[in-house]
Amino acid sequence: MRAKWVVVVATVVSAIAVGAVAAPEFAVPDREPFMRIGRITSQPIGHYEFCKRYVDECSVKSIRRSKAQVTEAGWAAIRQVNTEVNARIAPMTDDEIFGRTEVWAYPVNVGDCEDYVLEKRKLLLARGFSEADLLITVVRKYDGTGHAVLTLSTTDGDFVLDNLDTEVKSWSETPYHYLKRQSASDTGRWVEIENCPDDIPVSSIE
């Protein structure tokens, strides 16, 4: 199937509206604002299986011209999506829903952490954000278990939408060890996060 190509520019339609660019209130300027991205790494098995069902979503190639500049209206939409999805979807493990682990799927009423991520990503894409700026990300929680969050990449830094937190925060303010995320240039590839280069078994992503 022919891959789709997307040119990413600073001005993004819809939610990232034309207007004065405003950094979110929760930005922390004295901390490292961006994740350092390294080499191509393994794709989580759940995402691999997801891509077999949603081929078009995993074949988007993006030529990044610049990161997204997000207006106040854009940040309001981001916060609204994070809050709405967290409230609407009840947490439930893949074992409880499907009887097996690592099933990445769009949730209806219940879902695991990666399902929240998929839903938030879908809603923000519908509001005009780019695939290159909405990146599924794998982390390790403080207790050693795996977890998935959605990274929003902007000119103000990398921010995280998390089903375990009602606030959208700078990635450096979250209590996680960051491992890998989707490539900004290819939705079917994953890259290491060099700030935290370790890896975890994909089966432990909860």
pLDDT tens sequence across 101-125: 999 999 999 999 999 999 999 999 9
Nearest to 16 by CA among 167, 137, 125, 159: 125
DSSP calls for 70-98: PBHHHHHHHHHHHHHHHHHSEE--HHHHH
The encoded tokens of residue 201 equal: 């078994």
Where along the chain do its domains lie? 35-204
For the segment 65-86, what is each residue's pLDDT rounded down to a tens digit?
A: 678 889 999 999 999 999 999 9
The encoded tokens of residue 66 equal: 């610049």
Fold of 35-204: C8orf32 fold (3.10.620)
Asked if pLDDT for residue 198 goes beyond 60, the answer is no
Asked if pLDDT for residue 10 goes beyond 50, the answer is no
Question: For the chain, what percent of residues have pLDDT higher than 70?
Answer: 79
What average pLDDT does the structure give for the chain?
A: 84
Query: For residue 65, what pLDDT is reported?
Result: 67
Indicate the pLDDT class of residue 1, thresholds 50, 70 and 90.
very low
Mean pLDDT (whole number) for 42-46: 97
Mean pLDDT (whole number) for 20-36: 56
Asked if pLDDT for residue 29 goes beyond 90, the answer is no
